[in-house]
Protein backbone atom coordinates (compact mmCIF):
# COMPACT_ATOMS: atom_id res chain seq x y z
CA UNK A 1 0.00 0.00 0.00
CA UNK A 2 1.28 3.46 -0.82
CA UNK A 3 0.63 6.89 0.60
CA UNK A 4 -2.32 9.17 0.03
CA UNK A 5 -3.38 12.78 0.17
CA UNK A 6 -6.02 14.28 2.43
CA UNK A 7 -7.62 17.47 1.16
CA UNK A 8 -9.01 19.53 4.04
CA UNK A 9 -10.80 22.78 4.73
CA UNK A 10 -9.33 25.02 7.45
CA UNK A 11 -11.51 26.95 9.90
CA UNK A 12 -10.72 30.17 8.00
CA UNK A 13 -12.21 28.71 4.79
CA UNK A 14 -8.88 28.06 3.08
CA UNK A 15 -7.86 24.68 1.71
CA UNK A 16 -4.77 22.60 2.46
CA UNK A 17 -3.62 19.04 2.06
CA UNK A 18 -1.49 16.52 3.88
CA UNK A 19 0.59 13.80 2.27
CA UNK A 20 0.33 10.67 4.38
CA UNK A 21 2.49 7.55 4.38
CA UNK A 22 0.84 4.15 4.06
CA UNK A 23 0.84 3.88 7.88
CA UNK A 24 -1.09 7.17 8.14
CA UNK A 25 1.86 9.25 9.35
CA UNK A 26 1.89 12.83 8.10
CA UNK A 27 4.85 13.43 5.77
CA UNK A 28 4.09 16.85 4.31
CA UNK A 29 1.59 19.64 5.02
CA UNK A 30 0.82 22.10 2.27
CA UNK A 31 0.60 25.84 2.28
CA UNK A 32 -2.90 27.35 2.50
CA UNK A 33 -4.86 27.84 -0.72
CA UNK A 34 -7.81 30.14 -1.36
CA UNK A 35 -9.68 27.58 -3.50
CA UNK A 36 -10.14 23.84 -3.82
CA UNK A 37 -8.78 23.89 -7.38
CA UNK A 38 -5.62 25.70 -6.23
CA UNK A 39 -5.09 23.02 -3.56
CA UNK A 40 -5.58 20.31 -6.18
CA UNK A 41 -2.93 22.04 -8.30
CA UNK A 42 -0.68 21.93 -5.23
CA UNK A 43 -1.15 18.16 -4.99
CA UNK A 44 -0.30 17.86 -8.69
CA UNK A 45 2.84 19.92 -8.04
CA UNK A 46 3.93 17.55 -5.25
CA UNK A 47 3.30 14.57 -7.54
CA UNK A 48 5.43 16.22 -10.22
CA UNK A 49 8.31 17.49 -8.04
CA UNK A 50 8.60 14.90 -5.27
CA UNK A 51 11.09 12.64 -7.02
CA UNK A 52 13.69 15.36 -7.67
CA UNK A 53 16.40 15.86 -5.02
CA UNK A 54 16.93 19.47 -6.04
CA UNK A 55 13.38 20.44 -5.04
CA UNK A 56 13.99 19.68 -1.35
CA UNK A 57 15.66 21.84 1.24
CA UNK A 58 16.51 20.72 4.77
CA UNK A 59 16.26 23.53 7.31
CA UNK A 60 16.66 24.02 11.04
CA UNK A 61 13.89 25.50 13.16
CA UNK A 62 14.43 28.02 15.93
CA UNK A 63 14.42 25.22 18.50
CA UNK A 64 17.14 23.28 16.67
CA UNK A 65 14.93 20.65 15.08
CA UNK A 66 15.33 19.68 11.44
CA UNK A 67 12.57 19.85 8.83
CA UNK A 68 12.32 20.02 5.05
CA UNK A 69 10.40 21.99 2.50
CA UNK A 70 9.45 20.84 -0.99
CA UNK A 71 9.57 23.53 -3.64
CA UNK A 72 8.10 23.78 -7.12
CA UNK A 73 10.28 24.65 -10.11
CA UNK A 74 9.42 28.35 -9.58
CA UNK A 75 10.96 28.07 -6.06
CA UNK A 76 7.58 28.46 -4.35
CA UNK A 77 7.23 26.26 -1.26
CA UNK A 78 4.57 23.60 -1.82
CA UNK A 79 4.75 22.03 1.61
CA UNK A 80 6.67 21.51 4.82
CA UNK A 81 7.45 18.41 6.85
CA UNK A 82 7.03 17.74 10.52
CA UNK A 83 9.93 18.48 12.87
CA UNK A 84 12.66 15.85 13.21
CA UNK A 85 15.20 15.38 15.98
CA UNK A 86 18.11 15.11 13.53
CA UNK A 87 19.23 15.73 9.97
CA UNK A 88 19.12 11.98 9.37
CA UNK A 89 15.44 12.01 10.38
CA UNK A 90 14.91 14.83 7.91
CA UNK A 91 16.64 12.81 5.18
CA UNK A 92 14.39 9.83 5.96
CA UNK A 93 11.36 12.11 5.71
CA UNK A 94 12.47 13.27 2.26
CA UNK A 95 12.85 9.66 1.15
CA UNK A 96 9.32 8.93 2.41
CA UNK A 97 8.01 11.97 0.50
CA UNK A 98 9.73 10.72 -2.66
CA UNK A 99 8.25 7.26 -2.18
CA UNK A 100 4.68 8.34 -1.34
CA UNK A 101 4.34 11.67 -3.16
CA UNK A 102 3.45 10.09 -6.48
CA UNK A 103 0.27 8.64 -5.01
CA UNK A 104 -2.92 9.36 -6.94
CA UNK A 105 -5.14 8.55 -3.96
CA UNK A 106 -6.82 11.76 -2.78
CA UNK A 107 -9.31 11.70 0.10
CA UNK A 108 -11.46 14.81 -0.12
CA UNK A 109 -12.44 15.68 3.45
CA UNK A 110 -13.77 19.15 2.62
CA UNK A 111 -17.39 18.03 2.50
CA UNK A 112 -17.72 19.67 -0.88
Mean pLDDT, the chain, rounded, equals 95
pLDDT tens string 30-55: 999 999 999 999 999 999 999 999 99
Query: Residue 91 pLDDT more than 90?
Result: yes
28-35, long-range: CB within 8 Å, 24+ apart, which pairs? Answer: 28/70, 28/78, 28/79, 28/80, 28/81, 28/97, 28/101, 29/79, 29/80, 29/81, 29/82, 30/78, 30/79, 31/77, 31/78, 31/79
Domain 4-108 belongs to what architecture?
Roll (2.30)
pLDDT tens string 21-32: 999 999 999 999
Q: In the prediction, which pLDDT does 111 show?
A: 82
With bands split at pLDDT 50, 70 and 90, how would you rate the model's confidence at 112?
A: low
What residue ranges do the domains of the chain occupy? 4-108
Q: Bridge-partner residues for 33, per DSSP?
A: 15
**Nearest-angstrom CA–CA distance, 101 and 5:** 8
Percent of the chain with pLDDT over 70: 98
Amino acid sequence: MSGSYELKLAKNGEYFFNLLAANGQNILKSEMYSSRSAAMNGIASVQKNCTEDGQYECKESGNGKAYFVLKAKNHQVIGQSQMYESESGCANGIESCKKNGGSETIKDLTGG
